[in-house]
Amino acid sequence: MLSGKRILVTSGPTHEPIDPVRYIANRSSGAQGTAIATALRDLGADVVFVTGPAQVPAPVGVTVVRVETALQMLDAVEAALPVDAAVMAAAVADWRVANAAGQKMKKTAQGFPVLEFIENPDILHTLSHHARRPGLVVGFAAETEKVIEHATAKRARKGCDWIVANDVSPATGIMGGQENAVHLITAQGVEDWPRMAKTEVAERLAHRIAQALA
C-alpha cells in the first residue's frame, strides 16, 4: 500500500544537557513512535526513523537516525526531506538549558546551581511551514486536560494536517504504557478512537496515511 512512499517518523524523548554527565528529559518511552514506524514499514513504506534516546529498540528494516537533543532532531528532520508524509511522535523537550556547563558541575560551598532555560525550536511547526513541506504532516498532542480543545488549537497553531491527541495524565497510564486512547483531529473534525494497544493505534494510523497518500 505504501511502496514507493518515503515517510519520516520522529520518536522518543529528547535529552537536553545540563553538563557533560547530566540532562533534562521526559517520560516518553518511544513506544508509540516505534509502533508507527513499524506499521508503516509493514505497509511497504520507506521509513526514516529519527529517534531520541528511547527505552524500546528501534524497528528493523527502517533507516534509523539517532539523536539526543531537540536541535539535533531538527537537523535530522530537515536532512531527511523530501518525504511524502511525516509523523512527529517525538516528545521534544520544549526547553533546553541555556547555561549548560562544558565541564561537570561540582558542589561548592557557594550554593546550588541555577539553570536558565531557553525555548527549543518547534520542529513540527518548522516542518509544517517548510519550503519542502511533506504533503501530509501529522503531529501529536500530549495533554493532561481539555484534550480536544487544546489539541484542536495546537493543530491550527502548528499548521499540521492531522493531530493525534492523547491524555497523558499519570492516571491514564499512557505515557510509558502499552495502550493509548487517542482522538484523530483533521480538517474534517474529531474522531474518538477506543482505547487500544499502541501497536493497534499505529496500524490504524498507518492505514489512514496509506489512504491519504493513495
Binding of ligand CTP at residue 92 (CB under 6 A)? yes
| DSSP structural state of residue 170 | G
Binding of ligand CTP at residue 47 (CB under 6 A)? no
Binding of ligand CTP at residue 202 (CB under 6 A)? no
State the nearest-atom distance from the C-beta of 44 to ligand CTP, in Å.
Answer: 24
All three cell numbers of 11, joined, read 520518536
Active-site residue 120, yes or no? Answer: no
Binding of ligand CTP at residue 86 (CB under 6 A)? no
The stretch near ligand CTP (CB under 6 A) out of 45-53, 106-114, 121-129, 170-178 is 121-129
The distance of Cα 27 from the centroid of its chain, to the nearest Å, equals 12
Binding of ligand CTP at residue 134 (CB under 6 A)? no
The stretch near ligand CTP (CB under 6 A) out of 57-65, 87-95, 187-195, 199-207 is 87-95
State the nearest-atom distance from the C-beta of 165 to ligand CTP, in Å.
Answer: 8
| DSSP structural state of residue 204 | H
Binding of ligand CTP at residue 128 (CB under 6 A)? no
Cβ proximity to ligand CTP: between 94 and 192 the closer is 94
For cell 501530509, what's the residue?
136
Spatial CB neighbours of 84, under 8 Å, sequence gap ≥ 6: 5, 6, 7, 134, 135, 136, 213
All three cell numbers of 158, joined, read 502548528
Q: Where are the beta strands (DSSP E) in the chain?
A: 6-11, 16-19, 22-24, 46-51, 63-66, 85-88, 95-97, 117-119, 136-143, 162-167, 179-180, 182-186, 189-192, 196-197
Binding of ligand CTP at residue 29 (CB under 6 A)? no
Sign of the CA dihedral 70, 38, 27, 23? negative
State the nearest-atom distance from the C-beta of 90 to ligand CTP, in Å.
Answer: 5
Number of residue whose CB is nearest ligand CTP: 123
Neighbours of 154 (CB within 10 A): 20
From candidates 140, 152, 162, 175, binder to ligand CTP by CB under 6 A: 140
Which residues bind to ligand CTP, rule: CB under 6 A? Answer: 10, 70, 88, 90, 92, 94, 120, 122-124, 139-142, 154
